[in-house]
Amino acid sequence: MTTPLKGVRVLELARVLAGPWAGQLLADLGADVVKVERAGVGDDTRQWGPPFVRGADGANLSAAYYHSTNRGKRSIEVDFESEQGRALVRRLAAHADVVIENFKVGGLAKYGLDYAGLSAINPRLIYCSVTGFGQDGPYASRPGYDFMIQGLGGIMSLTGEPEGEPVKTGVAFADIFTGMYASVAILAALQGRTATGAGCHIDMALLDTQVAVLGNQALNYFVAGEPPPRMGNAHSNVVPYQVVPAADGHIIIASGTDGQYVKICEVLGVPELAHDPRFAKNADRLANRGELMALLTARTATFTKDDLLAKLVAVGVPVGPINRLDEVFAHPQVVYRGLRVELPAADAAGGSIPTLRSPIVIDGEPVFAPTPSPALGADTNDVLRDPAWGGAGPAAAAGG
C-alpha cells in the first residue's frame, strides 16, 4: 500500500472530530499516529452512540462515530493530572514530528504541553492547535462547536428553503473541513522544515475555516454588496441547476452551459424555450428564473425519474439521482471504486469493522490505513517500548 508519510510520527492530543480527522488522514498517508486518550475514559466519541460496533463476544467496541475518524492509529492512555502522565507526553513529543491538539486556548499550558513547552524540548516539532475561534481575538477563549460555527460562519444563511428556517449540513461541515485544512497545513510545514530545520505552530480555527469555504458565495457578496439569500436547491449563479420534479420523485439537473440548456429544452419537448430571448443566455435565465423554472418543471414532472435521467445522460447533460445512503453504497461506481472497506478485526463480530476509505488514489492505488480504530489504551505497551518513540519503558509510566 502507498505510504508517502512512512516514518513521520504524529502525537494526537485531540478528541471528537476536527483534530482526529486530521490525524486519520495522516495515518491514511502512512504516518505513525499515536492517539493519547484520557485514562479510563478515552475520546468522547467512543460513547456517541448508538450505533456501536459490536465485538465477537457481544461487547461494545465503541460508537460508529469514533470509528469514523480514528482508523489506522495507536491508542495509549494517559492521566494528564499526574506528573508521570505529563512527563510521558513530553517524552513522546521529543520524538514526534507533529503534535495535533484541540484543547481550549491555553488549556495545555498548565501542563507544560503547549507549543512553548514542547517546542523547547523539540525545536523541529510541528504543533497544530485546533480551536473554535483561533489562538487570539475577542472570541479566542470561547468554546466552539460545529453547529454553532455553521450558524455564526454564514453557511446556514445559505442553506434551506427561502421561506423555511436556516438548515445546517447533514455532516459536521466545519469540523471536517478544518481537519482537512489542518492536514494540508501540516504537510506544508513538514515540507518547509526540510529547508529550515525548524518546526512551527499552526493555528487552525473552525470559524476561520467555515468562513473560508463560503467560496463563490463570499465573492458574490463582495462584488454585489448584498448578502446572498437562501435558495433551497437552486444555484445562485447558474440556471437551470437544481432539483426538479419527476412523475415518481425528484432528480438533479446541473446545466452549466448555454449548449446544455438547449439540449434540456429539446429533451423536454419545448425547443422554442432554447431561443426565447428571455432565456437564451445564462444571465437572461437568472433574471427570469421563476418564469423559466415553472415552464421546465411542468415538463420534467411528466417523465419518470429513470426515463428523464436516461434521456438527458444520452445528450450529455449533467444529471443525477438523489440517493439514500443504502443506494449510495450500492451504486455501481461507488462499489467499483471500493469506498466502503472492511478492515480485519479479530475481536469484532464477523471479523471486521467497516470503514469509509480516504478518497485519495495515488498511481491507481487507494490510500487508507489498513487497520481499524484502536481500543482504548490497546497500544500503550507497544508505544512505550517502541525505539522510534524513545523506548520509554513499561505501561505504568502512563500514570493511569
Q: How many CB atoms lie within 10 A of CB 165?
A: 8
Positions of the chain with pLDDT lower than 50, given as ranges: 392, 395-400
- Using the Cα atoms of residue 167, residue 171, residue 177 and residue 182 in order, give the sign of their dihedral: positive
- The whole-number pLDDT of residue 80 equals 83
- The whole-number pLDDT of residue 400 equals 42
- The whole-number pLDDT of residue 2 equals 73
Of 364, 370, 399, 369, the C-alpha closest to 384 is: 399
Q: Cell match 492530543: residue? A: 13
Three-class SS state of 289: helix
Q: Cell match 446541473: residue? A: 254
- Upstream peptide bond of 51 is cis (omega within 30 degrees of 0): yes
- The whole-number pLDDT of residue 1 equals 66
Bridge partners for 127 per DSSP: 99, 201
| Distance (Å, whole) CA 394 – CA 381 | 6
- Which residue out of 175, 203, 208, 386 is catalytically annotated? 175
- Upstream peptide bond of 240 is cis (omega within 30 degrees of 0): yes
284 to 235, 258, 260, 274, 281: CA distances (angstroms) = 14, 11, 15, 12, 5
Question: Annotated catalytic, 175?
Answer: yes
- The whole-number pLDDT of residue 149 equals 96
- The whole-number pLDDT of residue 393 equals 52
| Distance (Å, whole) CA 214 – CA 153 | 9
Q: Please give the torsion angle defined by the CA atoms of residues 355, 42, 152 and 187, in that order, rounded to the nearest 10 degrees.
A: -60
